């Protein structure tokens, strides 16, 4: 992708030759032969800045410090005729992304610069997204409330703001705002002007997780037609946010542990070791202690992640914060459609305080937005909240799985009687044939009085998980998306479990 590149070098042969090669790739290139010219010509539009290590009127490392104030989102590369480890380390410590060696293969110089362009464009997209009004509102929503739980959350965020390197784990149920809290941690740190790179571990196929995180070299596997920059590398000196970390498979957990312990990683298909310079923040709605006991999560990785744990409270534990948030959402939703701020009717207020909100803040926001659109006047009556109205008549929502969708504490409404299995033709339209649950013999544990082994614990968990999946599929008449909703999982999470149990 074309980018704007500045070359600051008094070596005319090197600068002009590099510029010609870059222009052939459609890049916009400007050359400056002195630091003084570069100070006058550099601006925020630059994507990559190549700085000579030894300029006639300035030190290249010092110039990087100066220009970062002008072109904050640009990627800096140090150019030197005498490359060595000390220069490279010092340049990267001062904010350089990489270095180019004069006299080396021109193709390698182009590759490093084009990689820098890719990182710069990603940084701009991340910055634009984090500064959008919707994200600003989400940040204010995450800290709105006067309950004891919210005051404790703000205190923890304030304590964590004193460090920009501490690894943090954000825990909480689905819909509580863990992702927004992670963005707040980044925004309040010294890394705020560096990239914030989020990764949803539930949306990446297990076979591609390593490539997505660490990147890959061209030709490293079938389909790798070009070099790909990984999310770890794209985060640079910013923050890498791994959402739903509990969903990673054990082999990838091992590689993540190495990343945290040694601060090193390698791209798929490469032998070159790269340094991790970003901060790691993770989030999960799973009980990692339970996952470790069941053999689904590494204990050593859990300890590495739990350096500073921030728990985001569920909405049902926040008392009158529900009304503060509902009023806030009503105001913003009404403003978005050009209306005056509506008031919430007393019967709707009582219903809001009684409702358990299994979907937490996300569910409340959606509920209020719908009410604003349904209401005709300046008041939001109970009738404008269909879910609350049904709840007032005795209906109870399916409870959210607190941490683990297959934990013993999971509470759900009784399943409907299973429907007849779908026909074979339904499998091509998002449904699958109804599977057979495990027999009672398969679900039996060890003989009474014996201490269960880890294999026994894993076996019982797998049998229970298999049975839950089967029940959900039967109740959903084989529809994968509907079954996933019953289980409190994403469609991709359920597909992974179907493959695990040989059900697809």
Per-residue pLDDT tens digits for 138-172: 555 667 889 999 999 999 998 898 888 999 999 99
Directed axis angle between helix 85-93 and helix 60-68, to 10°? 20
pLDDT tens figures, 39-95: 988 887 888 999 998 898 988 888 888 888 787 778 899 888 765 667 777 777 777
pLDDT tens figures, 435-478: 555 544 444 455 555 555 555 666 666 777 888 888 888 777 77
Kindly state the tokens that stand for 257: 């542990």
By the 8 A CB rule, do 6 and 42 touch? Answer: yes
pLDDT above 90 for 424? no
pLDDT of residue 408: 35
Q: Which CATH class is domain 133-311?
A: alpha beta
Domain with CATH 1.10.8.60 in the chain: 315-392
Domain with CATH 3.40.50.300 in the chain: 133-311
Sheet holding 239-243, edge to edge: 196-200, 239-243, 279-284, 168-171, 308-311
pLDDT of residue 189: 86
Report the CATH fold assignment for 4-123. Answer: Rossmann fold (3.40.50)
pLDDT band at 254 (very low <50, low <70, confident <90, very high): very high
Kindly state the tokens that stand for 85: 């480890």
Distances (CA, A) of 145 to 111, 148, 182, 187: 50, 9, 18, 20
For the structural domain made of 315-392, what CATH number should be given?
A: 1.10.8.60
Kindly state the tokens that stand for 356: 């358990």
Q: How far apart are CA 45 and CA 4, in angstroms?
A: 7
Per-residue three-class SS string for 240-261: EEEECHHHCCHHHHHHHHHHHH
pLDDT above 50 for 404? no
Q: How far apart are CA 386 and CA 399, in angstroms?
A: 18
pTM of the model: 0.58
Distances (CA, A) of 172 to 167, 348, 402, 478: 17, 27, 8, 30
pLDDT of residue 386: 92
């Amino acid at each position: 992708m074309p980018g704007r590149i500045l070359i600051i070098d008094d070596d005319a042969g090197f600068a002009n030759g590099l510029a010609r090669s870059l222009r052939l790739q459609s890049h916009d290139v400007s050359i400056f032969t002195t630091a003084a010219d570069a100070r006058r010509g550099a601006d925020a539009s630059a994507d990559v800045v190549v700085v000579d290590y030894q300029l006639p009127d300035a030190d290249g490392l010092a110039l990087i410090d100066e220009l970062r104030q002008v072109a904050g989102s640009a990627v800096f590369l140090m150019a030197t005729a005498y490359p060595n480890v000390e220069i490279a380390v010092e340049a990267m410590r001062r904010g350089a992304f990489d270095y180019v060696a004069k006299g080396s293969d021109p193709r390698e110089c182009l590759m490093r610069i084009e990689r820098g362009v890719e990182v710069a464009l990603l940084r701009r997209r991340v910055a634009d997204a984090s500064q959008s009004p919707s994200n600003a509102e989400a940040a204010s929503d995450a800290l709105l409330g006067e309950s004891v739980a919210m005051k404790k959350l703000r205190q923890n965020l304030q304590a964590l703001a004193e460090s920009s390197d501490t690894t943090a784990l954000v825990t909480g149920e689905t819909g509580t705002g863990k992702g927004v809290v992670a963005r707040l941690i980044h925004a309040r740190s010294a890394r705020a002007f560096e990239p914030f790179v989020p990764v949803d571990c539930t949306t990446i196929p297990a076979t591609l997780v390593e490539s997505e995180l660490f990147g890959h070299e061209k030709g490293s596997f079938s389909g790798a037609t070009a070099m790909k920059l990984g999310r770890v590398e794209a985060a640079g000196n910013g923050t890498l946010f791994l959402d739903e970390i509990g969903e990673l498979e054990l082999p990838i957990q091992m590689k993540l542990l190495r990343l945290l312990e040694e601060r090193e990683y390698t791209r798929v298909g490469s032998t070159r070791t790269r340094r991790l310079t970003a901060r790691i923040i993770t989030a999960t709605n799973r009980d990692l202690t339970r996952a470790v006991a069941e053999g689904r999560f590494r204990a050593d990785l859990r300890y590495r992640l739990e350096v500073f744990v921030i728990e985001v409270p569920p909405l049902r534990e926040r008392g009158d914060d529900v009304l503060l948030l509902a009023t806030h959402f009503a105001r913003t939703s009404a403003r978005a459609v050009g209306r005056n701020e509506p008031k919430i009717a007393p019967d709707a207020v009582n219903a809001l305080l009684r409702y358990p909100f299994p979907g937490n803040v996300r569910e409340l926001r959606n509920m209020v937005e719908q009410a604003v659109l349904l209401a005709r006047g300046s008041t939001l009556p109970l009738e404008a909240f269909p879910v609350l109205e049904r709840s007032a008549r005795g209906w109870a929502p399916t409870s959210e799985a607190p941490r683990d969708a297959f934990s013993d504490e999971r509470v759900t409404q009784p399943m409907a009687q299973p429907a007849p299995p779908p026909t074979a033709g339904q499998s091509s339209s998002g449904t699958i044939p109804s599977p057979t649950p495990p027999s009672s013999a398969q679900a039996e544990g060890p003989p009474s009085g014996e201490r269960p082994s880890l294999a026994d614990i894993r076996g019982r968990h797998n049998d229970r998980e298999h049975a839950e999946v089967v029940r959900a599929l039967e109740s959903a008449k084989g529809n994968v998306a509907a079954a996933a909703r019953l289980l409190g999982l994403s469609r991709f999470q359920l597909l992974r479990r179907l493959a695990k149990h040989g059900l697809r």
